[in-house]
Structure 1
Amino acid sequence: MITPFTKNPKVPYSSWVKRFKLHGRGYKVLHHIDGRRKPAETDSTYEEWCEIDAHVLQWIYGTLNDDLLSRVLEEESIAYEAWVRVKNNFMNNKGARAASLESEFSSLKLKSMPSLEAYCQCLKEIVVQLKDVDAAVTDQRLVLQLVRGLTPGYDTTTAYINQTLPSFANACSMLELEQRRQASRDEPLIVLVAPSSPTVETSGWVKPKSSSSNPPRAKTSGGRSQKNSGRSQNCGSNKPQTTAPQSNWV
């Protein structure tokens, strides 16, 4: 059973062809798109060939976006015929396509893109599409266009790239490092300061503080402590003396 790869409307034609052929080679169905003649109806393999060809045709249609599909879809067709129609759609009017892509390539700016990564990726995709219409862009020109569309925040890195003219991949890496450096510089500095003394929260009830570890002794009128007089006060009763706690509210 043939299962198509995931549809991606942003894949350029040349990349689509490479991926399709790679997948077709894995399933041993390249003979359905390379122009070989289909077997005669009297051939014993005719029915099997038609069944496999229908899968490949469905595979082709399933990997096209809706706009392109409406232009190449036909009621009666084999896989190779659909393959040729897709190719002609991209190869025809190459001059007009090249002019449109050149304009898009030259006017692309970083400020119009959501991120630096998206900006670099978009430039690369346009270059691949220009190659498909025989309007290849050199790596040096790609690098120069890359720095031309940057914002003033990258002026230092831009000057270095213009002097050294590295590869497009290295130039993108340099810009990403500069972006990270700027991001780390703009982050606020957070300093944690330990409090000088712990803060104790209270719910309103404060336990009275004593001057010593032993509770104070109440004196009687004779000057003796209540410890010695407690025996006479409780004389005749075995019940312990209870005293209601005093409350201090803040």
Structure 2
Amino acid sequence: MGTYISKALIKKDLKDIFRSKTLLVTMIIIPIVFSVIFPSVVLGGALLFDAEKIAGDDGQKLIDALLTSTKGDEFASYTLEQQIIYMFINFILPTLFLLVPIITAMTVAGNSFVGEKENRTLESLLFSPISIKTLFLSKILASLIPPLFVSIISFVVCGVIINSLGYPLFGELIFPSGNWLALITCLSPMVILLSVLLNILISARVRTYQEAQNLGGIIVLPVIAMMIGQVSGLFLLGVQLIILISVGILIVNLLLWSTISKNNDRYVLFEKQIH
């Protein structure tokens, strides 16, 4: 009975997600911005303008500090223009790309319990023959599917654009690099799960969707910090660091799931429903 209800709940949540214009717009606009517009503007601009002149001596110093030691002889053979594009495509853009699964997951998961509260349907769920752990697990699974799907589609589209516009500049395919592969297979799924767990936990505690979004948005801050750290030359988001961060987030996810399993009960959820 519990499994049947769980499957029905997942299907219902997925239908609600794709019926919501707000959620659909977010799942369309965010990938377009970070997976289509950003790489198109940078690579298209490099084809039309002289990036070497725009960067100047300061650009050369930044590139040398960031990437010469990483790529060695292969990278040293690139022109300054190629170095600038390579740095953006393989270090800055992957960090920005993380905002696609994060914001998508945050938007979807933030609406999970809050949507039930606003529609006054949470009470019927709480009286159904399903455990609280199964209820949360169903909400988590329903919230994971859309951002995972959007993330994979965005990755493919981004790759097509990068290789199409980048080939005239490099004379070879530069996507996917090791950084991109580590990101899409390790870091992105972990970040999606983190965003879903955190926002579902918040969604179960607050009363409105706006409150859930305001609190859940804190997960974007580490991504901004990573981008600033790379641009300032403090570190590079290489394959090893991506895997290390993924393992760290996995541990955090396990702790969050343990918190969700132990600290939520029918009384707490029902209290949030009526107040």
Higher relative contact order (CA 8 A, sep 6+): 2
TM-score (norm 2): 0.22
Greater helix share, structure number: 2
TM-score (norm 1): 0.24
